[in-house]
Structure 1
Amino acid sequence: RVFGRFFALFNRVFSRASDRYSQGVSRVISHKASAMGVYAALLGLTVGISYIVPGGFVPAQDKQYLISFAQLPNGASLDRTEAVIRKMSDTALKQPGVESAVAFPGLSINGFTNSSSAGIVFVTLKPFDERKA
């Protein structure tokens, strides 16, 4: 009984909201020119704002480090994972803007748990003014 009252109230509110939505859509459809005018204005406003607001939502921030990880097939040996992680580390260290790399074969990025088929390399970059684009 308690839930019956709740659902009866819910159904009434939902029905009213659905009817109002249908009426609103009918009004918009019956005033096509006005609706298209509002749409064009909103589209123009969006384009105009895109020239004012910076290009990305997240500002470009340089934290001076990168995190890379490898996930080998399940059951891969730690030796195989270590070879892959070492190659990743060596590749990173060959880049001109890289200062150092610390490798953790056997460490999974998924909860930082032990896994013979996973590994992580933390790459530290040189200060921004010492790096070239």
Structure 2
Amino acid sequence: MQRTMLKGKIHRATVTDSNLDYEGSVAIDSLLMEASGLQEFEQVHIYNIANGNRFTTYVITAPEGTGTISINGAAAHMASSGDLVIIASYSVMDESELVSYAPKLVYVDGANSIKEISGHLMGNTGTAGSI
């Protein structure tokens, strides 16, 4: 049996730009991509904490250390600069892979700098929790 599992997420990231006229995608700081295990052109789900919108797009790389989270193209209607979002990717795994499975969970501050990287949920502390 196979299961779809959370592979990685960036929790409570702040949208830095919303660009309707761009081709599409979400641009993510390459440090955040690496920490969460995201690859360029990988499909991601974005959950907007500010307004409840949920949408799917793909990742493009933003310059390292910029803290960039830019929602582009049609998805720009779903999030505005300053909104808090959760960016999540999923993977299909065999039951045997679940024995050693741990997602890459990246918790960031208001400037999208990494505060913590974990393999388990931090709980409802007001700064982290489940998707």
TM-score by length of 2: 0.29
Q: Which has the higher strand share?
A: 2
Asked which structure has the greater RCO (Cα within 8 Å, sep 6+), the reply is: 2
